[in-house]
């Protein structure tokens, strides 16, 4: 069970979020693969008017004891419905839908878009249940969003125990590091994955990765989506604030500006 300290919800002017993703997987629906999603588009077109269609290739193994081989065939199409600014995308595939944004502002706004996506999928395709639901927040802490200029100061923004392996000798400043921690969540089937990393970005500037993925797997009724997403959001936010030693560098928004 997780016991991150309770935290007041504070908006940040320079939040380190690079992307927020909510994905819902369900048993494959052949109708999504076999027909163009015109009815689905009408449900979301007001908010997500741009449409892109992706066609990939699937490589399938062929069982042959004499000479194993593979078969390449056309993969089912994947549809992406995008906002005018291109920052928010709803992806529809035969076995999942996913909402992602690179311009996250507040949970209420993102939840409204999840609700829109889920309602459209339910109304048009009527999936029986979900097999995986996940909410993921990817943060990258950089010189640009902190105003700092030293890598050691950048790393000091995270709890030292999250970067223990990176800070150990005999090496000095490894080129890259990624640690993954899997934790039991708030309810029996809930899980939280925390990924912490250090890498080099553009111009060889350091980037601190702080990636939270809260998910549940199994036969999941769709009516539990709202409770799960709220639980996931609350846990991730508390985990993010717990992981930081100083969130003031991201410039909290004063109450009068919210």
Domain spans, the chain: 15-55+74-128, 139-247
Q: Tell me what pLDDT residue 68 has.
A: 64
242 has pLDDT over 80: yes
Over residues 22-43, the mean pLDDT reads 96
Chain-centre distance for alpha carbon 4: 20
- Give the angle 212-105-146 at the CA atoms, nearest 5°: 70
Non-local CB neighbours of 99 within 8 Å, separated by 6+ positions: 21, 22, 23, 88, 89, 90, 91, 110, 113, 114, 117
Cα 240 from Cα 236, distance rounded (Å): 6
Of 53-62, 147-156, 244-253, the one with minimum mean pLDDT is 53-62
Q: For the packed helices 225-243 and 107-125, what is the interaxial angle rounded to 10 degrees?
A: 150
pLDDT at res. 69: 62
Query: 52-61, 102-111, 199-208: which has the highest mean pLDDT?
Result: 102-111
CATH architecture of 15-55+74-128: 2-Layer Sandwich (3.30)
pLDDT computed for residue 59 by the predictor: 55
57: pLDDT strictly greater than 60:
no
| Residue 58 pLDDT > 60 | no
Number of neighbouring beta carbons within 10 Å of residue 200: 12
Report pLDDT for 74: 67
- Least confident interval from 69-73, 154-158, 213-217: 69-73
pLDDT at 113 over 90: yes
pLDDT bin (cut points 50, 70, 90) of residue 163 is confident
Higher pLDDT, 172 or 186: 186
pLDDT above 70 (res 21)? yes
Check residue 95 and give its pLDDT: 96
Q: Which residue has the tokens 């629906």?
A: 29
pLDDT at 72 over 70: no
Angle at 95 between CA 25 and CA 37, to 5 degrees: 120
On the question of pLDDT at 227 being above 60, the answer is yes
Q: How confident is the model at residue 201 (pLDDT cuts 50, 70, 90)?
A: confident
Q: Which of 80-84, 125-129, 160-164, 168-172 has the lowest mean pLDDT?
A: 168-172
């Amino acid at each position: 069970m997780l016991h991150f300290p309770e935290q007041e919800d504070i908006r940040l002017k320079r939040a380190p979020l690079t992307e927020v993703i909510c994905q819902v997987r369900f048993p494959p629906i052949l109708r999504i693969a076999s027909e163009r999603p015109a009815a689905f588009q009408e449900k979301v077109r007001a908010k997500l008017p741009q449409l892109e269609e992706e066609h990939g290739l699937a490589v399938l193994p062929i069982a042959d004891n004499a000479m194993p081989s593979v078969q390449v065939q056309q993969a089912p199409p994947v549809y992406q419905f995008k906002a005018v600014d291109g920052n928010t995308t709803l992806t529809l595939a035969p076995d999942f839908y996913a909402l992602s944004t690179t311009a996250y502002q507040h949970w209420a706004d993102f939840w409204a878009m999840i609700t829109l996506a889920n309602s459209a999928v339910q109304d048009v395709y009527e999936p029986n249940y979900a097999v995986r639901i996940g909410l993921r927040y990817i943060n990258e802490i950089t010189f640009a969003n902190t105003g700092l200029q030293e890598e050691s100061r950048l790393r000091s923004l995270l709890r030292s125990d999250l970067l223990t392996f990176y800070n150990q000798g005999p090496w000095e400043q490894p080129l890259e590091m990624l640690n993954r921690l899997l934790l039991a969540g708030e309810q029996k089937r809930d899980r939280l994955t925390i990924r912490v990393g250090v890498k080099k970005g553009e111009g060889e500037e350091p980037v601190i990765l702080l990636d939270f993925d809260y998910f549940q797997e199994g036969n999941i009724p769709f009516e539990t989506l709202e409770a799960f997403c709220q639980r996931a959001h609350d846990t991730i936010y508390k985990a993010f604030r717990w992981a930081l030693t100083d969130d003031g560098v991201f410039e909290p928004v004063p109450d009068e500006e919210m």
